[in-house]
């Protein structure tokens, strides 16, 4: 294995794997990817069968970025010959008590030409009888929403990067990054590598790598979980019959059709602060009871015995927006933080990171994702519930 490259991607979760792929389209064998665990491990943020992809966002730049994400995924699908995005349709349920701003979502979609249907309670019951809500809940249906096949997509990005000549190495924890002769020297797993340009895509471990640049972001890492439930009526919840759905409040419930396991998938945000090195892997039983109760109350034919629960991590920024930018003082080093909702964008984020390093600019509007924005300069103002 050679030890000198033009580009090094540090961290091979969902976003780093995508960056390797898009860099390799231009730079082939000049791309190195380093991962501290085995490729495809389940200790970070990007594991499991599915993630929601949607155009329903609360600002115009996010809706436009989502539109670009669909196009980027199509390019990867064309290159890999695999279907990675399943359009199931997406239902957003708006309860009366929500603190989220529905008009911000609808206006942003309208400004970007994204079609959607507003469903009053009666229309919701008529079109989607699987769901049972009272008259205080209405919905928005957006037909392009669906799921990204997360494990498959990560594998596709890495497989295609290797096909293009990239070197991806697992079990290589990065211990040190030093600036040397205008480039970087990376000490990892007992070896030393040189690279002219860097992508930092370390998810919950971001600040550990930023420390080598004397930088720190006010990030919060939380422990989350998703549950699979063995409905006796699985066929009614197949992707062609049952949309992805989101209960639109802050600590929300959300769910998927049957995909990847023999059960419907449901989750409720936990926002339980943790540390990526000392976290446990045990599910929270109250969260499991809550999601089973939600199914029994609102999607009763999907209710059934718990198949299993899988835990994972989330990395939060104080304002909920990504970091996707050059490091201050380092024009040849870019950093991404997914801020809890980046998987759907993985491919366009990978393309954008590659553009920043290869072309020096990107057509994507990433102005809201600057490293030096005010909300990241302040000490993190965290108000996450403990528990
Ligand atoms: C339960 C759950 C549900 C979610 N649902 C959705 C959804 O529906 N839609 C959506 O769009 N997003 C969703 N997300 C968010 C999305 O999955 C994440 O934003 C995204 O996966 C982040 O990817 P990442 O590559 O930044 O992080 P990770 O996947 O954690 O990757 C970071 C990688 O860097 C490696 N690394 C770190 N430090 C080092 C080091 N020193 N040396 C070498 N390697 C290192 C890590 O081992 C890891 O593999 C969800 C997340 C969770 C947990």
Provide the 10 A C-beta neighbour count for residue 281: 11
Residue 256, pLDDT above cutoff 80: yes
| 129-136: average pLDDT | 96
Q: How far is the CA of 132 from the centre of ligand 1 (A)?
A: 33
Binding pocket residue ranges, ligand 1, CB within 6 Å: 10-16, 34-37, 44-46, 51-52, 173-174, 201-205, 208-209, 224, 226, 267, 312-314, 338, 340-344
The pair of structure tokens assigned to 198 is 């860097």
Q: How far is the CA of 19 from the centre of ligand 1 (A)?
A: 13
pLDDT confidence of 49, banded at 50, 70, 90? very high
pLDDT confidence of 178, banded at 50, 70, 90? very high
| 185-209: average pLDDT | 98
Of the residues 209, 223, 343, which should be mutated to test ligand 1's pocket, given the most ligand atoms within 8 Å of the CB? 343
Domain limits of the chain? Answer: 4-46+151-217+319-377, 88-146+220-316
Cβ–Cβ under 8 Å, residues 171 and 127: no
User: ∠ at Cα 351 (151, 322), nearest 5°?
Assistant: 80
| 209-235: average pLDDT | 96
Closest atom, ligand 1, to C-alpha of 44? 30
Residue for token pair 């030409």:
113
Q: How far is the CA of 199 from the centre of ligand 1 (A)?
A: 15
Contacts 24+ apart (CB under 8 A), 82-85: 82/152, 82/156, 83/149, 84/148, 84/149, 84/152, 84/153, 84/156, 85/53, 85/146, 85/147, 85/148, 85/149
Q: How far is the CA of 297 from the centre of ligand 1 (A)?
A: 31
pLDDT at 377: 85
Report domain 4-46+151-217+319-377's class: alpha beta
pLDDT at 387: 33
Condensed to tens digits (0 to 9), the pLDDT of residues 8-30 reads: 999 999 999 999 999 999 999 99
The verdict on domain 88-146+220-316 having CATH code 3.40.50.150 is no
> Rounded to an integer, what distance in angstroms lies between the CA atom of residue 373 and that of residue 317?
11
Q: Is 49 helix (H, G, I), strand (E, B) or coil?
A: coil
Average confidence score pLDDT of the chain: 96
Residue 163, pLDDT above cutoff 50: yes
pLDDT at 251: 77
Q: How far is the CA of 208 from the centre of ligand 1 (A)?
A: 15
Condensed to tens digits (0 to 9), the pLDDT of residues 58-98 reads: 999 999 999 999 999 999 999 999 999 999 999 999 999 99
* Interacting residues of 170 by C-beta distance below 8 A, sequence separation 6+: 12, 35, 37, 38, 39
Residue for token pair 């669909």:
70
Residue 384, pLDDT above cutoff 50: no
pLDDT at 258: 98
| 37-66: average pLDDT | 98
Cβ–Cβ under 8 Å, residues 164 and 5: no
pLDDT at 378: 61
Q: What percent of the chain has pLDDT over 90?
A: 95
Residue 385, pLDDT above cutoff 70: no
> Which residue owns the Cα nearest ligand 1 atom 35?
11
pLDDT at 386: 38
Provide the 10 A C-beta neighbour count for residue 202: 26
* Interacting residues of 245 by C-beta distance below 8 A, sequence separation 6+: 90, 91, 92, 93, 131, 254, 255
Q: Is 341 helix (H, G, I), strand (E, B) or coil?
A: coil
pLDDT at 124: 97
pLDDT confidence of 379, banded at 50, 70, 90? low
pLDDT at 316: 96
pLDDT at 1: 84
Q: Which pTM was predicted?
A: 0.97
CA quadruple 16, 252, 371, 326: dihedral, nearest 10:
20
Residue 325, pLDDT above cutoff 90: yes
């Amino acid at each position: 294995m050679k030890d000198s490259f033009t580009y090094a991607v540090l961290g091979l979760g969902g976003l780093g794997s995508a960056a390797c792929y898009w860099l390799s389209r231009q730079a082939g064998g000049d791309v190195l990817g380093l991962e501290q665990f085995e490729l495809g491990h389940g200790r970070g943020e990007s594991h499991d069968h599915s993630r929601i992809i949607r155009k329903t966002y609360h600002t115009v730049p996010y809706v436009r970025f989502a539109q670009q994400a669909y196009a980027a995924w199509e390019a990867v699908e064309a290159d890999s010959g695999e279907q990675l995005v399943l359009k199931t349709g997406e239902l957003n349920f708006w309860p009366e008590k929500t603190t989220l701003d529905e008009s911000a979502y609808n206006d942003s979609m309208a400004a970007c030409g994204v079609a959607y249907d507003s469903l009053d309670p009666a229309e919701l019951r008529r079109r989607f009888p699987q769901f049972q809500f009272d008259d205080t809940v209405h919905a928005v249906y957006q037909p392009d929403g669906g799921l990204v096949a997360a494990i498959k997509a990560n594998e596709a990005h890495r497989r295609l990067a290797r096909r293009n000549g990239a070197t991806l190495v697992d079990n290589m924890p990065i211990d040190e990054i030093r600036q040397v002769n205008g480039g970087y020297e990376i000490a990892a797993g007992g070896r030393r590598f040189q690279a002219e340009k860097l992508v930092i895509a370390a998810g919950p471990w971001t600040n550990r790598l930023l420390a080598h640049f004397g930088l720190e972001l006010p990030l919060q890492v939380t422990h989350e979980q998703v549950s699979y439930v063995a409905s006796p009526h699985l066929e009614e919840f197949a992707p062609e019959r049952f949309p992805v759905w989101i209960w639109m409040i802050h600590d929300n419930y959300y769910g998927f059709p049957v995909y990847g396991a023999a059960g419907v998938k449901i989750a409720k945000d936990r926002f339980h602060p943790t540390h990526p090195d000392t976290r446990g892997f045990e599910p929270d039983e109250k969260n499991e009871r809550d999601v089973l109760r939600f199914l029994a109350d609102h999607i009763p034919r999907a209710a059934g015995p718990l198949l299993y629960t899988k835990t994972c991590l989330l990395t939060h920024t104080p304002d909920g927006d990504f970091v996707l930018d050059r490091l201050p003082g380092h024009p040849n080093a870019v950093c991404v933080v997914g801020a809890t909702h980046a998987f759907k964008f993985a491919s366009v984020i990978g393309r954008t990171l590659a553009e920043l390093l290869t072309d020096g600019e990107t057509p994507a509007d990433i102005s809201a994702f600057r490293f030096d924005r005010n909300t990241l300069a302040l000490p993190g103002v965290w108000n996450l519930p403990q528990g």
